[in-house]
Structure 1
Amino acid sequence: MINVCLYDGANYKRGGPELIQQPLADNCMLWIDIEQESAESEQHIFEQFDCHPLCIQDARRPRHPPKIEHFSEQSFVLLRELVAEHEGLAFQTLQVAGFVGSNFLITRHDKPSPAISSWLENSKLAALMARGPMVLFASVTNSMALAYIDLLLDFEPALSEYEDTLLATQGDTVLRELISCKTWLRKLKRLHSYHDRVYLALLTHLKQEHSDEVDAIHSATDVYEKFERLNSLSALYYDLAGDLIDGHISLTSHQLNETMRILTVVTAIFVPLGFLAGLYGMNFDYIPELHHPNGYFFLVGFMAFIAVALVALFKRNKWL
C-alpha cells in the first residue's frame, strides 16, 4: 500500500502514486508512505528520488540496528517503533525507514505503523507539511518516542511495588519476574542508545549543514531530548532492577546462611557426644569404666555438661 500526501503551498491532497510529481514544483512538499508493497513498486519510487541502493537494502532488511546516513540531497534514517499491545515490559518493534529530502519524505515499513497512521489521519498534517519534510519526520518520530515513554512510565509503579514488597515477598516467582524485567530493560537500553546516537548525529548535521532551518533544528532537538531521556530512564530502571535482583539474592542467601549456621551449631554439639557414644560402644572385653557401678551416669552427665557448655559458648559468641 502506498499513501501519498501532497501539499503545494496552498492545497493539500491525499491519494496514491498518481500524486507523485517529478520534478516537484516550488513550495511543494510530498510525503510517500510505503507499507507492505511489492519490491518492484517501491523500487520504482526509490529510483525516482535517487535513493542510495545500500540504504534501500538496509530499509528492506527484517532487522537492522537504527542508523543514519547523509548524502548531498537527502538523509537516510532507520529507527525502530514500538508496536502492538504489550503486557508489562514485553514489547515488539517495527523497523521504520525514512528518506528525508529537501521537499519530500519517504517512509517505508513492513507492517502498520501506529505513529505514521495517526499522522496520516491528523487534521494538522497540511500545516505540518508546510513546515518542511524534516519537521514532519521529527513529528512522526516524536510520536514514536512518546510511545516508549508511556511504556516506561507504565512500568514505574510495578518497579516501585517490587521495591516495597522485596522484604515481604520471597520466592522464585518474584526473582523470575525481576529477571524478566531486567531482560526487557536491557533491550530497551540498547535500543534507545542507538536512537540517542542517531538523533544526535541528525541534529549535529542540521546545525552544521542547515543552520538556517531553525524550525527543523528545534523539532529535531525536541525529539533528541526525548530519546536522551528514554536512554537515561531505561538505564536507570535497568540498574534498579539489577539492584533488586542482587538484593533478593542477598536476602535469600542470608536466610540460607542462618539455616546453615543453626545446623552447623547443632552438628558441632553432637560431634563430641557422638564420639563418646562411639568410644564406649566398642566391643572390647576390657574397658575400665565398663564395670563401674555409676559409669553410665558419669558418662551421661559428662555428655550433658559438654552439650550445655557448647550451647553457652555459642550464645556468648552470638552464634545462636
Structure 2
Amino acid sequence: MSKHKNKKRYKKSGLAPGSVIYTGDKSSKKLFIEVFDYNSEQCIDKELNNIEDIFDFKHSDSMSWINLNGLNHVNEIEKLGNHFNLHPLVLEDIVSISQRPKIDEYDDYLFVVLKMLYHDKEENIISEQISFILGKNYVLSFQEADGDVFDAVRDRIRQGKGRVRTMQADYLLYILMDAIVDQYFSIIETLGDKIEDYETRIFLGDVDESINKDIQDLKREVLRVRRAIFPLREVINRIEKHESPLILKKTKTYYRDIYDHLIQVTENIDIYREMIWSLMDMYMTTISNKMNEVMKVLTIMASIFIPLTFIAGIYGMNFDYIPELHYKYSYFILWGVMILLFVGMLIYFKRKKWL
C-alpha cells in the first residue's frame, strides 16, 4: 500500500513546472459546482453544470463564492484558470494535494492553501487539501471531494446573518478559513479524549498487547494534525502584514482572531505530544511493575521453599545414624517444623509489606 502512495506522490517527476496533474486518489468524483452570489439585498444560491457558467461572475457587481468539488477534472480547472488569469503554478498546486499550507501573492489575487480536517463515520481523521483564490469581488474554493465544514457559512449567506452580506470578499475568505480553524478544535478535543482514555486505562492497569500499537497510531495521528495546522500560523501572519487592496485594514482584525485560535490549537497539540510520550512511559512502567509483581511472587515462593528444601535434603540423605531417624514421631515433628517455618515466613513478609 505504501508503494501505491509513493507512485501517486511522485508521478509528476520529470514533468515541466506548471503541469496540471491531479495527484489524489478520488478520480471517480463528478465535478460539482456551487455558487453563492450575493449583496446586502439578495442572495442567489445555485448549482452549475458547466465550467463556462462561472465566467460571468468574475466581473459581477456583487460578491461571489464559487466552490468546486472534484480536483480530478483538470481540464475544467484549466479552463477556469485561463479565464481568471491564474498562474500555471497555481493551477498545478491546486490539483497537487500534498501541498503545505501557504499563501502566494499575485497582482490581482491571493492564492491560499490549507488543510481541512474532519472525522469520518469511524471517527478517523480525514485531511483534505482546500485551495482559495481571493479576487476583488469573488472567492474561488477548490475541494477534492464532497463534504466540508462550510454548512454554517452557507446558512449565514443565505439568511443574511452577521456581516457577510455587507462585507467584501476578504471577509468571505475569513469566515471560510475561520470555519476550518473552528473544526480544528473539534479534532484536538477528540484527540484529547483519546489520550485521557488511554491514560485512565493504563493507570488502572487495563492494558493489553494492542494498546502499545494504539498509542503509536495516536502519536502519528497527532503529528499528522500538527503538520496540517502548524504552517497555517505563518499564512495568517502574512495576511495580517500584507499590504494589498484585497485585504482591507478593518478585516485584518478578524484574521488576527484566527491567529489567536491557531496559537491555542498548536499549544494544545504540543501538550498532547508530551502527554503521548508520558503515556509511553506509563505503559512501560506498568509493564515493568507487572513483571516486578510476578518476580516478587516467584522470589517469595522460592524463599519459602528454600529452608523446607534444606530440611527435606538433610533427612533425605542415606546415612544409617541420623538421631531422629528411628524416632516414631520424627515424621510429624518434621512436618510441624516445616509448617511453622512456612507460616512464620509469611508473617515476616507481610510485616515487611512484601506481600
In the superposition, the TM-score normalised over structure 2's length comes to 0.69
SS of residue paired to 1:136? helix
In the alignment, structure 1 residue 145 sits paired with structure 2 residue 145? no
Aligned length: 313
Q: Which residue of 2 aligns with 1:50?
A: 85
CA contact (8 A) 2:201 2:207 kept: no
Cα offset, 1:267, TM superposition: 0.8
Q: Which residue of 1 aligns with 2:66?
A: 32
In the alignment, structure 1 residue 132 sits paired with structure 2 residue 168? yes
CA contact (8 A) 2:62 2:137 kept: yes
The one-letter code matched in structure 2 to 1:4 is V
Superposed counterparts of 1:4-43, under 5 Å: 4-6=35-37, 13-14=44-45, 16=48, 17-21=52-56, 24=59, 29-36=63-70, 38-43=73-78
CA contact (8 A) 1:29 1:133 kept: yes
The one-letter code matched in structure 1 to 2:33 is I
The 3 A distance-change label for structure 1 pair 287 and 148 is farther
The one-letter code matched in structure 2 to 1:101 is G
SS of residue paired to 2:67? strand
Q: Separation in 2 of the partners of 1:225 and 1:86?
A: 30
Cα offset, 1:33, TM superposition: 1.6
CA contact (8 A) 2:119 2:126 kept: yes
SS of residue paired to 1:209? coil
CA contact (8 A) 1:2 1:32 kept: yes
Q: Which residue of 2 aligns with 1:106?
A: 140
The 3 A distance-change label for structure 1 pair 113 and 181 is farther
Identity value in percent: 19
Cα offset, 1:264, TM superposition: 0.9
Per-residue deviation, residues 163-205 of structure 1 (Å, max 9, x unmatched): 66765572439x73x9647744652454245424224333234
Q: Separation in 2 of the partners of 1:2 and 1:94?
A: 18
Cα offset, 1:270, TM superposition: 0.8
User: What stretches of structure 2 of length at least 5 have no aligned partner?
Assistant: 1-31
Q: Separation in 2 of the partners of 1:23 and 1:161?
A: 51
CA contact (8 A) 1:20 1:30 kept: no
Q: Separation in 2 of the partners of 1:311 and 1:181?
A: 40
CA contact (8 A) 1:179 1:245 kept: no
The 3 A distance-change label for structure 1 pair 184 and 171 is closer
SS of residue paired to 2:267? helix
User: What stretches of structure 1 of length at least 5 have no aligned partner?
Assistant: none
In the superposition, the TM-score normalised over structure 1's length comes to 0.75
The 3 A distance-change label for structure 1 pair 125 and 103 is farther
RMSD: 4.1
The one-letter code matched in structure 2 to 1:289 is I
Cα offset, 1:31, TM superposition: 2.9
Q: Which residue of 1 aligns with 2:229?
A: 195
CA contact (8 A) 1:2 1:35 kept: yes
Per-residue deviation, residues 142-178 of structure 1 (Å, max 9, x unmatched): 11222232344467667667666765572439x73x9
SS of residue paired to 2:149? helix
The 3 A distance-change label for structure 1 pair 160 and 307 is closer
Q: Separation in 1 of the partners of 2:178 and 2:279?
A: 32
The one-letter code matched in structure 2 to 1:105 is V
Which moves more between the two structures, 265-274 or 119-128? 119-128
Q: Which residue of 1 aligns with 2:111?
A: 76
The 3 A distance-change label for structure 1 pair 125 and 29 is farther
Q: Separation in 1 of the partners of 2:283 and 2:241?
A: 48
CA contact (8 A) 2:134 2:173 kept: yes
SS of residue paired to 2:77? helix
**Match for residue 209 of structure 1 among 221, 229, 243:** 243
The 3 A distance-change label for structure 1 pair 49 and 192 is farther
SS of residue paired to 1:20? helix
Q: Separation in 2 of the partners of 1:235 and 1:179?
A: 21
SS of residue paired to 2:173? helix
Per-residue deviation, residues 88-131 of structure 1 (Å, max 9, x unmatched): x5332332111223443221112124334543453238962653
CA contact (8 A) 2:58 2:138 kept: no
CA contact (8 A) 1:78 1:98 kept: yes
Q: Which residue of 2 aligns with 1:64?
A: 98
In the alignment, structure 1 residue 2 sits paired with structure 2 residue 33? yes
CA contact (8 A) 2:239 2:252 kept: no
